Amino acid sequence: DQQVKQNSPSLSVQEGRISILNCDYTNSMFDYFLWYKKYPAEGPTFLISISSIKDKNEDGRFTVFLNKSAKHLSLHIVPSQPGDSAVYFCAASAFSGNTGKLIFGQGTTLQVKP
Amino acid sequence: NAGVTQTPKFQVLKTGQSMTLQCAQDMNHNSMYWYRQDPGMGLRLIYYSASEGTTDKGEVPNGYNVSRLNKREFSLRLESAAPSQTSVYFCASSEGGTRWDTQYFGPGTRLTVL
């Protein structure tokens, strides 16, 4: 049972436009969410996170929005650049035990065309 | 600093063979993790070590054993490899073991079990 779902396997956008990557979760105990970016033949790297006490967190071109009632989060990249082409994973964490256990989604491959 | 290093990068095994995947970090982090990534499944936590001398099971521990050799090194052992263990394996580390601590990933080991 997939607790964190990224229903779009791939997304293609034009350079300079907005990229919107979506993520849904089912476990209401999740209260901390992260996005990781992964280039081919490399490990994932942390991009941005959001706690459930917020509904938005911004870092430069990257903004994450959280809609707790819909159990949905999204990552906006504005403007998109060719170097943003990568696989993006959302991940979630529940408070219990306050451990580093993360549940990842399946990933969305973003292609930004010049 | 090399960050998180993993050896080997690639490995092919026959069913029933055993092997150990090695992971080392030079960031003086306390916590270390092993994940596997399968197509369409995202990353799933196999085992983690919150601190030197402790290990705990993640989502998918069956068929694996781990050893936290010292603060730097965390190895993953497959005692009797099965085709279902064909995957890309990532090691990660974080300064603390909480969900607020960013996890830093190694480049991965691509394992094929025939």
- What percent of chain B has pLDDT above 70? 100
Instruction: Determine the pLDDT at residue A94.
Output: 86
* Residue A16 contacts residue A113 (beta carbons within 8 Å): no
Interface residue A108 vs chain B (CB under 8 A): no
Instruction: Determine the pLDDT at residue A1.
Output: 72
Contacts of A45 in chain B (CB under 8 A): 104-105
Inform me whether the pLDDT recorded for B87 exceeds 90. yes
A interface test, pick of B47, B59, B99, B109 with most A CB neighbours within 10 Å:
B99
Least confident residue range of A8-12, A79-83, B50-54, B91-95: B50-54
Inform me whether the pLDDT recorded for A98 exceeds 70. no
Residues A76 and A65: their CA atoms lie apart, in Å, by: 8
Residue A111: its H or E element: strand A108-113
Residues B31 and B47: their CA atoms lie apart, in Å, by: 11
Interface residue A103 vs chain B (CB under 8 A): yes
Chain B residue whose CA is closest to A9: B40
Instruction: Determine the pLDDT at residue A100.
Output: 74
Instruction: Determine the pLDDT at residue B41.
Output: 84
At A27, the pLDDT band (50, 70, 90 cuts) reads: very high
* Residue A8 contacts residue A87 (beta carbons within 8 Å): no
At B25, the pLDDT band (50, 70, 90 cuts) reads: very high
Contacts of B90 in chain A (CB under 8 A): 43-44
Instruction: Determine the pLDDT at residue B14.
Output: 97
Residues B62 and B45: their CA atoms lie apart, in Å, by: 11
Contacts of A104 in chain B (CB under 8 A): 35, 42-44
Instruction: Determine the pLDDT at residue A97.
Output: 63
Contacts of B29 in chain A (CB under 8 A): none
